[in-house]
């Protein structure tokens, strides 16, 4: 990953999202489905923004607690439009954070 690419990825902590694991959001990558990345228990995985399905070549994410997976799906569903706008570069990070809805 180039330094320029690194600037297109933002880590959001559980304190801000209400999801019990850190999340990574990124701007458009034309080779990929719009997605949010997460890591739990040393397992990295991604979830599609459009339909909240898990994107993985294997089923390692099934080893993660069900509550974390449900939290992530709920958070992505709540923030779907803002995430898509961020992915498509329609809004910047500050705007996304202002629009983002935190899970209770």
Query: What is the mean pLDDT of each successive set of 10 residues along the chain, which is 104 residues long?
Result: 52 94 85 89 90 83 89 97 94 93 95
Residues in the chain: 104
pLDDT given at position 8: 53
The pair phi, psi for residue 12, each rounded to 5°, is -125, 125
Q: What is the pLDDT of residue 29?
A: 66
- Predicted pLDDT of residue 9: 65
pLDDT of amino acid 26: 86
């Amino acid at each position: 990953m180039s330094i320029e690419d690194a600037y297109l990825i933002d880590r959001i902590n559980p304190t801000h999202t209400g999801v019990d694991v850190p999340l990574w959001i990124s701007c458009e990558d034309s080779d990929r489905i719009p997605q949010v990345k997460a890591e739990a228990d040393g397992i990295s995985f991604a979830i599609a923004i459009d339909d909240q399905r898990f994107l993985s070549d294997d089923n390692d994410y099934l080893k993660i607690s069900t509550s974390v997976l449900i939290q992530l799906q709920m958070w992505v569903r709540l923030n779907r439009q803002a995430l898509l706008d961020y992915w498509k570069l329609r809004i910047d990070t500050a705007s996304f954070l202002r629009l983002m809805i935190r899970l209770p």
